Chain A
Amino acid sequence: MTAPAVQREDAVDRGNAATRGGAVKRKGRNPFVKWAGEFGWRHLIAVAVLAFGLVPIVYVILVAFNPNGTLSSTSLLPTSFGFGNFQKLFTDPNVPFGRWFLNSLVIAVPAAFVSIFISSLAAYAFSRFRFKGRRPMLLFLLLIQMFPAFLAVVALYLIFGNIGEFYPVAGLNTKLGLMLVYMGGALGVSTWLMKGFFDTIPKELDEAATIDGATHAQIFFGMILPLAAPIIAISGILAFVGTMNDFILASLFLTDRPEMTLAVGLKTLTADNSPASYFGIFAAGTLLTSILTVAVFMSLQRYIVSGLTGGAVKG
């Protein structure tokens, strides 16, 4: 633990700061120079980085609203405007966008929900109980993540081929099978993130609750989970977005066009043998997809910064 040591030094330094604070006041300068020195460069950096960050997004928007919808007809200066691409998304029989969207939601929402729940259970055990094999298990969770999962697809394919023989509802080419694979990854990075956050919740609270007669389940569901809302939220977002973005597993499991998820379906629109005009439809689809994820991010924005770092900073 280094943090407490640092904090102790700080306490000493704070005393010094209080006594010497008056001496560091700056002399009056030209107000603009002062503003530039203090804020100007900050705005400059922010705007420069934003230019880099937003250009591709602006580009997608422009392509989506460009009725010609081809690569060659789009530049950063809009030439024409129309909703044709969005219309085609829902009318072109070759592009069952509505179905794809629904499929993605039907798979991603329950998968994210269940895996976060299971992950938080494990994180609670790792944070609050001391048992044999705890450290090895934690390290093992980290280690198994480093195995390139994509190559396990051959194995997963064999496994689900076998499962499908007995239980057709969860075999290949089913949503349930794909969801099971996603849930299989429940224990992992998010367990670490949550465990780190749970560690910051004082154990004295548990002890007080125990003395008041609460069971371990009541402590977990009634106290820890509500207190850990930020990390639950961020882990949920990451699991949801990760599932939405998954391409390999989804393309392996769902091969029928109406059964595809957004990632697999939209990818087919930019394939080499697709018509060039599909690029506009693709952009429109991307935009509609992103509305969902952006809305999720924005609504949970206040949790994101504390959630992402909470676990890591406190280790």
Chain B
Amino acid sequence: MLEQPSRTAGSATAAGLIIKIAVLAVVAALAVWAALPLIAAEAWWGLGLEAAIVAVVYYVYLQRRAIQLKYLVPGTLLLIAFQILPVFLTVGTSFSNYGDGHRVHKDQAVEAIIAAGVQQTPGGATYLFSVGESSTGDLTLLLTDQRDGSTWAGTEEGLAELPEATVDAAGRITAAPGYTVWDLAELNERQAELTELAVPTGDDSGIKVQGLSAFEGTSTRSYDAGCDCITDTATGTVWYADNEEGSFLTEDGEAALVGWRVNIGADNYLGVLTDPDIRGPFLGIFTWNVLFAAGSVLFTFAIGLGTAMALNKPSMRGTKVYRTLMILPYAMPSFAMLLVWAQMFNRDFGLVNDLFGLSVNWYGGTWSARAMVLIANTWLGWPYMFLICLGALQALPSDSLEAAKIDGATGLTAFRKITLPLLLIALTPLLISSFAFNFNNFNAIELLSGGSPFRAGDAVGGTDLLITYAFRQAFGATTADYGFASAISVFIFLIVATMSAVMFRFTRNQEDVYS
């Protein structure tokens, strides 16, 4: 069947031909548009990549041999760009120390450390500043030049113009696109981080914060490539580069605040496996993670199946109304309902305690918090299970059930021996994917409990899943350690993939996924 169309098919009709030419013309136009900025920036690798993509597209749609490629190319290109590439980058990051204090390249780190030693020079520029955080959490000085009122954004990487900032009467920046500007309270709280922040503006000059304003000046520190060290002439401190750790260390082993990004091999992975401070919590989270995913699937499936069995009776009155109402929880926006559930479990004013006359502090205890997230997650998931169970039940051959009845199997026996096995064959792929989904159900935990309860001084909460734990490592309030977080996400991937593979193997002989 395959060979035939591939020999005869093509754009046989005039309309088809016109559409094809039009689409290819649009691709060409887009390609030209996309090429211009690349040429202007002399980004030849980008241009080469673009040319390659366009060539592939043209080849695929003009050839007549491999028809399937015409249908696969659009999705595959997007898949490579936005799914496969991020995965590879994440795996790459997991072998590095990328994170707070190790964000930049070595020369940028040198510049930043030199800038931190800046002393004010008479007549140097002064700035009004406010502090912003970019969406990746980069600390940024939002500066207003007091001479001409121009606005700038400075990080430890350097200074960039910021034309679209909103300023108050004094000229201080109050809002800027892409940044969350700190309010006074936060400014006071995190003053310490500011005193260490310096924006390099040249080889030995930079901008530093002092009190309520920032100034530009020259540094007392200098870098010497010969000893690979930085010397502060004012204090006499010498930092030597440690190229394996990506840090500058004094002789006492104290690290300068800014380090750089280096490849640290498998340290992030080994840390999880060997460091008892990490391994212990990791195993704890893992156990609960499996429990949570399995429990979610079990409860939602039990309720969904029970309801579907009850409603799978064509002669029953009101089934349509019931079914419509049961879709409602599924149709509600889940992120909002999770936030609502979080409020319903409030100890003092929440509906759950109110309704049942309890005064449970749901967020306080590990197991009450776990019960809470399971209850809420079951609420979110059962309508889906109900729908697929109902569909599967209706697709069951009714003859076999009748036959079983005649052979004497009724009620529970028929359900256990006939209905359930047949259902499971049909639904196993969906149950497995539901397990995998819940294993990584970031939203449910983040929006319900945020991982709490936390014991004092513990980085791991009672309801934390591996993914919320990893996310906090990467984007948490205190420190960001992308390398470690990436290593954990690779672990998560391996765990879920292995579990799914095992489960698929168990059911493979009953199925036809490979047909």
Contact = CB atoms under 8 A, between A and B. Distances in A.
Interface string A129-154: 11100010100001111111111101
Contacts of B324: 298, 301
A203 interface: yes
Contact of B425 (A2, A41, A144, A145): A2
Contacts of A21: 406
Contacts of A33: none
Contacts of B158: none
Contact of A56 (B38, B341, B399, B486): B341
A79 interface: no
A42 B81 contact: no
A45 B327 contact: no
A158 B325 CA distance: 44
Interface in B74-118: 74-76, 78-79, 81-87, 89-90, 93
B85 A159 contact: yes
Contact of A144 (B87, B332, B430): B87
Contact of A152 (B4, B87, B323): B87
A32 interface: no
A187 interface: yes
Contacts of B190: none
A280 to B, nearest CB: 11
Contacts of A217: 9, 11, 16
Contact of A184 (B71, B83, B330, B485): B83
A50 to B, nearest CB: 6
Nearest to B11: A215
Given A46-B310, A215-B12, A217-B16, A255 B442 contact: no
The size class of the interface chain B forms with chain A is: 35 or more
Interface core residue of B74, B82, B436 (most chain A CB under 10 Å): B82
B79 A213 contact: no
Q: Which of A7, A54, A247 has the most CB of B within 10 A?
A: A247
A143 B384 CA distance: 22
Nearest to A19: B406
A191 to B, nearest CB: 7
A207 B208 CA distance: 75
Interface residues on A, range: 35 or more
A192 B41 CA distance: 41
A10 B322 CA distance: 31
B414 interface: no
A17 B406 contact: yes
Interface in B301-350: 303, 306-307, 310-311, 313, 316-318, 322-337, 339-344, 346, 348-350
Given A10-B403, A298-B331, A146 B326 contact: no
Contacts of B391: 305-306, 308-310, 313
Contact of A151 (B90, B322, B429, B447): B90
Interface stretch (B123-131, B237-245, B456-464, B489-497): B489-497
Contacts of A129: 2, 67-68, 71
Contacts of A13: 399-400, 402-403, 406
Contacts, number: 364
Contacts of B470: 148, 151
A312 B429 contact: yes
B511 interface: yes
A255 B178 contact: yes
A71 B311 contact: no
A258 to B, nearest CB: 11
Given A2-B425, A146-B436, A309-B392, A152 B333 contact: no
A281 B405 CA distance: 55
Contacts of B399: 10-11, 13-14, 17
B220 interface: no
Given A17-B402, A184-B81, A306-B391, A53 B382 contact: yes
A146 B493 contact: yes
B333 A157 contact: no
Interface string A114-125: 000011011011
Given A41-B310, A289-B336, A313 B395 contact: yes
Nearest to A293: B331
A9 B328 contact: no
A294 B322 contact: no
A228 interface: no
A277 interface: no
A216 B9 contact: yes
Given A152-B87, A267-B339, A130 B388 contact: no
B178 A166 contact: no
Interface string B187-216: 000000000000000000000000000000
B71 A125 contact: yes
CB-CB nearest 3 A-B residue pairs = A184-B82, A309-B391, A13-B403
29 contacts: A6-B397, A10-B403, A14-B399, A42-B311, A121-B71, A121-B74, A130-B2, A144-B84, A147-B493, A148-B470, A148-B492, A149-B86, A150-B442, A151-B489, A154-B486, A155-B87, A159-B89, A166-B38, A166-B46, A184-B78, A184-B82, A184-B83, A187-B76, A220-B71, A252-B135, A255-B178, A263-B333, A305-B391, A309-B392
Given A144-B87, A146-B440, A263-B336, 7 more contacts: A9-B403, A52-B303, A60-B332, A151-B470, A151-B488, A155-B85, A251-B135
Interface of A: 1-2, 6-7, 9-11, 13-14, 16-17, 20-21, 24, 38-39, 41-43, 45-46, 49-50, 52-57, 59-60, 71-72, 74-76, 118-119, 121-122, 124-125, 129-131, 135, 137, 142-152, 154-159, 165-167, 172-173, 180-181, 183-187, 189, 191, 199, 203, 206-207, 210, 213, 215-218, 220, 241, 244-245, 247-248, 251-253, 255-256, 262-263, 266-267, 270, 279, 282-283, 285-286, 289-290, 293-294, 296-298, 301, 304-306, 308-310, 312-313, 315
